[in-house]
Amino acid sequence: MARQRHEDGGAEPVARVVSPEPAAVARDLEDDAALRPRSFDEFVGQRKVADNLAVYVQAARKRGDALDHVLLSGPPGLGKTTLAFLLAREMGSQIRVTSGPALERKGDLAGILTSLGRGDVLFIDEIHRLQPVIEESLYPAMEDFRIELVTGTGAGARAIPLPIERFTLVGATTRTGQLGSPLLSRFGIVETFAFYSAEELTDIVRRSARLLGIPIDDAGAEEIGRRSRGTPRIANRLLRRIRDFADVRGDGRVTRELAEFALGRLEVDASGLDAGDRKILSTMIKRFDGGPVGIDSLAASLAEDRDTLEFVYEPYLIQEGFLIRTPRGRQVTKRAYEHLNVPPPPAGSRGGQASLF
């Protein structure tokens, strides 16, 4: 079967129809495709995960079998989607891409599964958001490589088993705890992503700059890597925006001085915190005496979605020691007061009233 080639060189069987994008967004999408690694050796960071997957792929290819089902978990922007495409590329397989919220009916899933060839990869992003009826339909597909087609209605309804090709399901999630045990147990390979170090992000910035043709010195790359919240997606986004400042306000080169200027305009401080991070910490200090405060109360106070706070902002704030979770709620640390130049409360004083989680 002929394969449509993806922009990064990997197989992509699905022609996608997208709405017209603004020029800057379209350019960013093209850049993302250009930056995607073509081998495990090119994948920077997450070495344990990448090295393990390389072994599993080599073993599956040696046996002439499909790769076992893979679950990739971790905060957004750490490379789960990139590794899914890389797995398909290394297996020499096609990849079909969808997401949990996009699969609304059993027929949607059945249509995808019946179109897969032997060894192909089905990538489901946000797999924790699958509807229960869709999740249940995946069980026989993952375990026995069959689906059930229901014909008729009422008392005359019949379930007809239909075999499908052996395929590999790659699921990506930021919330492993929301996956049901029956689904979780069917993944033979489970890998968890961690935040990247500043050194790894600096390497990613250098590589991205080279591929995009952006002149950058080591100091400029280090400054961007240090402020990227441990996240490659953010590092590449900052690099592209700093390139804009370099083209307009400089001579096109990204130096430490230019990077510091641009990051200041983008409101990304020396610790990598942006305006949203600082607003969270400031609100907790000013309105809740530093906490503890429940996540719902905090979300209401910020007019922000609870999930955004819990899965986008909190992980990095906790990782960097600005925030902690306690049995009574979230609480800022001494480092948060110091970072915002706010005097900490007197020793032994108690925070405001806490809400439960």
Tell me the per-residue pLDDT of 118-138, one tens digit each, with 9 for 90 and over.
999 999 999 999 999 899 889
How many CA atoms are closer than 13 Å to the CA of 23, on its beta-carbon side? 0
Q: What is the pLDDT of residues 201-244, one digit of tens each?
A: 999 999 999 999 999 999 999 999 999 999 999 999 999 999 99
Confidence class for position 261, pLDDT limits 50, 70, 90: very high
Q: Residues 6 or more apart from 290 whose CB is under 8 A from it?
A: 284, 331, 332, 336, 337, 344, 345, 351, 352
pLDDT digits (tens, 9 = 90+) for 63-73: 999 999 999 99
- Candidate list 32, 120, 125, 277, residue with the active-site label: 125
Q: Active-site residue 82, yes or no?
A: no
Q: How many CA atoms lie within 13 A of 100 on its CB side?
A: 18
Q: Which of 116, 137, 76 is nearest to 316 (CA)?
A: 76
- Residues 36, 80, 241, 330: which is the catalytic one? 80
Contact present, 138 and 185 (Cβ < 8 Å): no
Looking at residue 80, its pLDDT comes to 94
| C-beta of residue 201 within 8 angstroms of C-beta of residue 230 | yes
Enclosing H/E stretch for 151: strand 146-151
Q: How far apart are the first and last CA of the chain?
A: 52
**Tens of pLDDT, residues 175-209:** 888 888 899 999 999 999 999 999 999 999 999 99
Give the Cβ contact number of residue 133 at 10 Å: 12
Say what the pLDDT of residue 17 is. Answer: 34
Output the CA–CA distances (angstroms, integers) from residue 41 to 36, 44, 86, in the order listed. Answer: 12, 8, 11
pTM score of the predicted model: 0.80
**Among 32, 81, 202, 277, which one carries the catalytic annotation?**
81
Asked if 121 and 3 count as a contact pair (C-beta separation under 8 A), the reply is: no
* 106 catalytic residue (yes or no): no
Give the domains, in start order, of the chain with CATH numbers.
Answer: 23-192 (3.40.50.300), 198-265 (1.10.8.60), 275-339 (1.10.10.10)
Residue 151 bears catalytic tag: no
Among residues 106, 233, 237, 335, the one annotated as catalytic is: 233
User: Which residue among 82, 168, 173, 174 is the active-site one?
Assistant: 174
